[in-house]
């Protein structure tokens, strides 16, 4: 049955889901958070001091693969939402698990990247470029990690069939968060990695 | 009837088949699973094009093309994967208000530090 919280009339003053309104408001506010971090990086990316420059440390082929992995996790997430709308619990669980695995691959790649950068002499306090880079990408990595925790928690409670309220709405809300993390990376990948200083 | 209390019941007491269910879900969200895969393939192709700008000299088109591709990818994910295109416009207003506020604030911030002149 396609009766989901997505389009069902809700008993609220707006006729819309308050949970969904809250989630979109939260995502709108997250734009301000990441906007601040991206702007700070853009301002300081040329301030390398004695440390290595962005072009000396960035590994574009590696980051491109990571970006592709995160992009594909958005596809698996939307397929999980689609399965949830069709009340296909097995499909929902499968796609959510794949999404979490792809997210974990991305975070693993980021940990490897940070380690490689550190070994090349780019510590957190090496330069303003280093600090702003680690804070920006680190914040994003934390968001992805939180997303993975939410996905796996959801898989756990789906298996016990203890999701309060509408299952499909719960899956959709976590999906919105996950896609947002993906669109933030779309911006970061272009502005931070692909545009030379 | 409070549908939050009886979410398993169909609309108007009509029994729906699985096919009807899928068709309605597709209609409501505006896309089928195949449609999502197509969007993902387009996004992957644009990403490949973006990466190619790092290796191929696009001359004066480098920056504009990168910006356009970034915006296209952003809008596609938000519109199709996040369903903003098919959902109530209030959600779009909430999100884009935050986004454009952020863009305005930080463009002003960067301008203060003469980022664009440099």
| Interface predicted TM-score (ipTM) of this complex, two decimals | 0.89
Contact A67, A145 (CB under 8 A): no
A39, A78, A166 member nearest B81 (Cβ): A78
Domain assignment present for A151: yes
Chain A residues within 8 A of B109 when measuring between CB atoms: 39
Residue A141: which domain range? Answer: 18-194
Q: Using CA atoms, how far apart are residues A168 and A161, in angstroms rounded to an integer?
A: 12
B106: exposed, middle or buried (C-beta count within 10 Å: 0-12, 13-18, 19+)? buried
Give the model's pLDDT for residue A164. Answer: 65
Domain assignment present for A6: no
Domain assignment present for A9: no
How many domains does the structure of chain A reveal?
1
pLDDT tens for B58-94 read 889 999 999 999 999 999 999 999 999 999 999 999 9
Domain assignment present for A135: yes
Domain assignment present for A189: yes
pLDDT tens for A11-53 read 777 778 899 999 999 999 999 999 999 999 999 999 998 889 9
Give the model's pLDDT for residue A8. Answer: 54
Torsion of CA A81, A83, A89, A92, to 10 degrees: -50
Chain B residues within 8 A of A61 when measuring between CB atoms: 51
Name the residue in chain B with its Cα closest to that of A194: B54
A6, A182, A194 member nearest B77 (Cβ): A182
Higher pLDDT among residues B22 and A92, named by residue: A92
Q: Using CA atoms, how far apart are residues A70 and A100, in angstroms rounded to an integer?
A: 10
pTM given for the model: 0.86
Assign B31 a pLDDT band (cuts: 50, 70, 90): confident
Q: Is the pLDDT of residue A4 over 80?
A: no
Give the model's pLDDT for residue B22. Answer: 47
Give the model's pLDDT for residue A196. Answer: 84
């Amino acid at each position: 049955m396609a009766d989901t919280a997505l389009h069902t009339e809700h008993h609220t003053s707006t006729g819309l889901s308050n949970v969904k309104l809250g989630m979109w408001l939260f995502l709108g506010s997250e734009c301000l958070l990441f906007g601040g971090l991206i702007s700070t990086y853009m301002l300081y990316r040329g301030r390398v001091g004695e440390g290595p420059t962005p072009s000396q440390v960035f590994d574009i082929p590696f980051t491109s693969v990571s970006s592709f992995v995160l992009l594909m996790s958005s596809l698996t997430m939307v397929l999980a939402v689609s399965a949830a709308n069709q009340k296909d619990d097995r499909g929902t669980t499968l796609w959510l698990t794949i999404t979490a695995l792809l997210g974990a691959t991305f975070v693993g790649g980021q940990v490897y990247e940070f380690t490689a950068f550190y070994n090349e002499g780019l510590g957190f306090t090496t330069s303003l470029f280093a600090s702003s880079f680690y804070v920006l990408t680190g914040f994003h990595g934390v968001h992805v990690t939180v997303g993975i925790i939410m996905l796996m928690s959801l898989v756990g409670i789906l298996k016990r069939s203890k999701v309060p309220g509408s299952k499909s709405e719960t899956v959709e809300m976590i999906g919105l968060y996950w896609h947002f993390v993906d669109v933030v990376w779309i911006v970061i990948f272009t502005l931070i990695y692909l545009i030379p200083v | 009837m409070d549908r939050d209390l009886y979410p398993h019941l169909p609309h108007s007491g009509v029994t729906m088949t699985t096919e009807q269910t899928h068709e309605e879900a597709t209609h409501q969200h505006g896309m089928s699973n195949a449609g999502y895969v197509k969007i993902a393939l387009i996004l992957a192709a644009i990403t490949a094009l973006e990466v190619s700008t790092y290796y191929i000299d696009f001359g004066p088109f480098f920056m504009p093309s990168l910006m356009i591709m970034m915006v296209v990818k952003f809008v596609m994910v938000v519109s199709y994967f996040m369903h903003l295109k098919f959902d109530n416009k209030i959600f779009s207003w909430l999100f884009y208000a935050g986004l454009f506020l952020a863009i305005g604030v930080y463009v002003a911030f960067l301008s203060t530090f003469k980022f664009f002149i440099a």
